[in-house]
Structure 1
Amino acid sequence: MTGSCEEVGILGAVTGIIGNLQALEAIKIITGLHDGKPSLLLYSALSVPPFRSVKLRQRRPTCKACGNEGQKEGPISQTDYVTLCGGPRPDWVARGLIEGTPENRIRAKDLDNILRSGTKARIIDVRSPTEFGICHLSGSINIPINTIMSNPTTAIPPSGDEDHGDGHETYVVCRLGNDSQLAVMAMREAGVAGVLKDLVGGLRAWTQDVNPEFPVY
């Protein structure tokens, strides 16, 4: 088992090499000689060869950490660092089934009863356009989660929309009931008025509790 840097120390020559490389990159940027292409240079004093260069993709405008303001896919605080760093995979099915509060979430059977009653309701499906094309609830509209998180105002009904304006009911659905929760929070902050809830368990729960013929994938 290899000890940490704090336990076994660092070769002095290594810190000198890294410092020189950083200084060289700074000079290239200042003088305009840097090509501007993102890359990662790895150095291991005990490896042969000691240097390895890895190409990095361009910065994404929607990145939670370094994206453009107004285009970020939600705040960095919502990033699941355990999963990002290779930790145990969350049980997304179980998370999507958490009851929450009646003001924020609705069960599949209750949503079915509302739709059957003729209540004017807007159904927003936050899955990708490809998934929406596979199957979706009748009358629902597709606004992908990435779009809502980067610009929640896209989920606000037009002022001239009499059927879905302020005071009417909006229900958000996704595959398992996780993205829909994030979308509802973003929409509330954006000022979506009236009843606003997401579907517990997502469309999978719709198949289990309402329509067994609705596709599961």
Structure 2
Amino acid sequence: MNQKRYIRQTTLKGFGSEGQKKLAKTKILVIGAGGLGVPVLTYLNAMGVGKIGIVDSDVVSITNLHRQVLYGEGDIGESKVIVALKKLKAQNADNEIVVYNTFLTTENAIEIITDYDIVVDTSDNFPTRYLVNDACVILNKPFVYGALHGYEGQVSVFNYNDGPTYRCIFPQIPKENEVPNCNEHGVLGIIPGIIGNLQALEAIKVVTGIGEVLTGKLLIFDGLQQSYQKIKFKLQPENLEIKKLQDFYEWNDPCEIVPTVSADELKKLLIENAQIVDVRLHEEFNNYHLPESIHIPLNELEANSSKINFSLPVYLLCQSGKRSETALRQLREKHPESSLFSILGGLNQYLAACS
């Protein structure tokens, strides 16, 4: 370890060389390499965390660039974890960076998380957060939580020293229509940077023992008022009794089957001039869209479904595959006999497959 590199940290009272050695021996897993993940990865890597794992299967898109400042215009269409690996190694070659070019699932969560001391969850959806929580309870690993909503953000540390878990404050996965979507409601670019840095700070505190860890407290940041408040919550002991993962961590009823086609199959559909309905926002569609696709934003779908020929198969497309699943369920209620398909992984996976 290059002692001079970290001299500004090791001279800190209460941190010192012992704190730096603890960082060097620590293995931290970061779930997500997006708005929150980028500042977490950048600072943990710069500060000398010995091993950092990154889990993400997304690719860089132009709509990421206003907040995901690790990436540039030349990275559009490239795998986030591969780009992050290259740039983090250029930042600090001494640390070990391990990438998992996949989304976290019930099939891989236990295997991946087992090898790490701490998990920092920077995902952007509730199913993944509950999956992370349950895996960390089973493996007795602390995890640092962060979330965004418009101009606000939240941070907490769960499952730390037998403290409260994520389910102690958020017992059940909410319904999808009860939760704001940042693709539709937006996020100010700087807010993920603030919240992500707070997550990185909590991870450092857990590792080194400095300061007071945000266990049993939910920190809420309001960017417009530049204010912070803390909400206290207690451990519900039954939430520590999780012994195995659920079969499903999904928004919708796990018994409901959402028909999908892969990004590779989408190439064939384009050749065959299949009916593709793009449900992204106007700005996203205008920035890039597939030729001959029908554009109906998700929030306008019910009023404009007459543009769709339901006598033919309908292939629904969005950026990552989430909104297209929601669109499919909406259309299936009104057109139960139609052939409806969601394109798995959306444009992100399609562009990655074409690169």
Indicate whether the TM-score tops 0.5: no
TM-score, length-scaled by structure 2: 0.28
TM-score, length-scaled by structure 1: 0.44
Q: Which has the higher contact order (CA 8 A, sep 6+)?
A: 1
